Amino acid sequence: MEFLSPAFFPDYELIDSGNFEKLERFGKYVTIRPEPQAVWAKGLHENEWEQKAHVKFVPKSSSSGSWNKMKEMPDRWHISYPLGTHELKFRLALTSFKHVGIFPEQAVNWDFIYRAVSDLNVAAPRVLNLFAYTGGASIAARAAGADVTHLDAIKQVVSWARENMELSGLQDIRWLIEDAMTYVRRELRRGKTYQGIILDPPAYGHGPDGQRWKLEDHILELVNSVVQLLDPEKHFLVLNTYSLGFSPIILDNMLSQTFLKGHYSCGEIYLPSSTGLKLPLGVFARALKSQ
C-alpha cells in the first residue's frame, strides 16, 4: 500500500488539525473548517488557531452552515498551482457547505494525470472525468494536451469548473451535466473507449434528475463499467474515494478482478501539517499502461 501527499503547493498549507477541525491557508487567507477524521488533539493551542484564522465555518446542519469572519477577507479569491509548464488557477469561495472549491490533497493526482497524458504518447488522448467538481483534474489533463470530457451533476459546479479553465488560460473542455452512472452505461452501449478515466465519487449524492448515489451500493458496478471503457492497450485510471472507514483493500479487491490486475497501485492520500501531524483524506487506486 502506498501513501501519497502533494510535494509542492505554494498557495496551500495545512497548518494544523485536531479536535475534528483543520486549520488551512489558501493563498493569503486562513480558514478553520470541520474535519471528521481529525480525532486527535490539536498541535497548536486554540489561541494560536484564533490568531491565525481569517474565517471559521460554523455548521448549522449535517450539510450546511455559515462562515464567521474573524479578520477582513473577500468572499471570493484566487490561488494557483504550478504544473509542468503551466500554472493552474482556481477561484475559491466561501460556500454554505464548508467547501471552498478545491480539494488540495488531489494535487498529487493532478501531477500523475499530467504525466500520464504525456506518457501515453497518443495525440489528444480521450479523458473522461466523472464526479468532476470544480475541475482540477480536468484542467490538469487538458494542460497536458488531452481531449477532456468533464461530467458533474450540479450545473453551478460545472460553471465554476469552466471559470477555472478560463482562468488557467485553457479552452475546449467538453462540459456535461449528467448522472455519472447513467452516462457510463450509455457510453458502454455506444462502444466508446477512453485512454484516461478519472473518478472521485462521493459517499452520497444525487444526479440532476434525482438519481440516488450511495458509494457502497454502486461502486462495484461503476468500477467494472469504467474499466470496460478503458482502451486496453494504452490507458490510465485514477480512482478516489473519501468515505470514513473505506479501505484501499476494497479498491484492491475490485480491481484485481479486472484486466488491470498487475499494473495498478492502491493506498491512502494524506496532507502533512506544519505541526507534523498527518491528515488522511481518502483512498486511491491508480493504473497506467503506456507501452
pLDDT value at position 246? 85
Higher pLDDT, 7 or 221: 221
Q: List the beta bridge partners of residue 82.
A: 87
From its phi and psi, is residue 54 left (phi > 0), alpha (psi between -120 and 50) or beta?
alpha
pLDDT value at position 255? 97
Find out whether 30 and 11 touch, Cβ atoms under 8 Å.
no
* CA–CA dist 18, 14 (Å, integer): 11
Average pLDDT estimate for 233-262: 93
* CA–CA dist 175, 162 (Å, integer): 8
Burial (Cβ within 10 Å: 0-12, 13-18, ≥19) of residue 210: exposed
* CA–CA dist 9, 7 (Å, integer): 7
pLDDT value at position 168? 98
Provide the residue ranges of all domains of the chain, joining segments of one domain with +: 2-76, 103-289
Average pLDDT estimate for 45-73: 95
- The pLDDT-based confidence of 242 (bands split at 50, 70, 90) is confident
For the domain bounded by 103-289, which CATH number is listed? 3.40.50.150
- Here the contacts of 72-80 (C-beta below 8 Å, separation 24 or greater) are 73/28, 73/29, 77/26, 77/27, 77/28, 77/29, 78/27, 78/167, 79/11, 79/12, 79/26, 79/27, 80/11
Question: CATH number of 2-76: 3.30.43.10, 3.55.10.10, 2.60.40.1180, 1.10.287.110?
Answer: 2.60.40.1180
- The C-alpha cell 471559521 sits at 56
Q: What's the pTM value of the predicted model, to 2 decimals? A: 0.95
Find out whether 201 and 184 touch, Cβ atoms under 8 Å.
no
Mean pLDDT in the chain? 95
Sort strands 196-199 and 174-177 into parallel, antiparallel or unpaired. unpaired
pLDDT value at position 1? 75
215 CB neighbour count, 10 Å cutoff: 17
pLDDT value at position 222? 95
Find out whether 14 and 8 touch, Cβ atoms under 8 Å.
no
The secondary structure of the chain, three-state, reads CEEECCCCCCCEEEEEEECCEEEEEECCEEEEEECCCCCCCCCCCHHHHHHHCCEEEEECCCCCEEEEECCCCCCEEEEEEEECCEEEEEEEECCCCCCCCCCHHHHHHHHHHHHHHHHHCCCCCEEEEECCCCCHHHHHHHHCCCEEEEEECCHHHHHHHHHHHHHCCCCCCEEEECCHHHHHHHHHHHCCCECEEEECCCCEEECCCCCEEEHHHHHHHHHHHHHHHECCCCEEEEEEECCCCCCHHHHHHHHCCCCCCCCEEEEEEEEECCCCCEEEEEEEEEEEECC
- The pLDDT-based confidence of 254 (bands split at 50, 70, 90) is very high
